[in-house]
Amino acid sequence: MKHNALGELRSLSVPELERKAKETKEELFTLRFALRTGHLTDFSKVRETRRSYAQIQTVICEKKITERDGAA
């Protein structure tokens, strides 16, 4: 995910990020399944999707910590 895309993630709300994380996780499952069955030709897509999922999760945690500290 490019730096600009990471900035776009930070502009989304937590529910939108959680929906995006779910979609990314499903895509990762599909890619892993295709990898195991031998139908995947672009192996870098698995790593890219896994990294994207991790970045989304990181932004979700950042936002939740910010909300928690702001409310306290």
Q: Is the pTM here over 0.75, yes or no?
A: yes
- What pLDDT sits at residue 3? 65
> Looking at domain 3-71, which CATH architecture does it have?
Orthogonal Bundle (1.10)
Q: What is the pLDDT of residue 70?
A: 82
pLDDT at 52: 96
Do 60 and 21 meet the contact criterion of CB atoms below 8 Å apart? yes
Q: Show me where the domains of the chain are located.
A: 3-71
Under a CB-based contact definition with an 8 Å cutoff, are residues 25 and 53 in contact? yes
pLDDT tens by residue, the chain, 72 residues: 666 788 899 999 999 999 999 999 999 999 999 999 999 999 999 999 999 999 999 999 999 999 888 876
| Cβ pair 64, 14 in contact under 8 A | yes
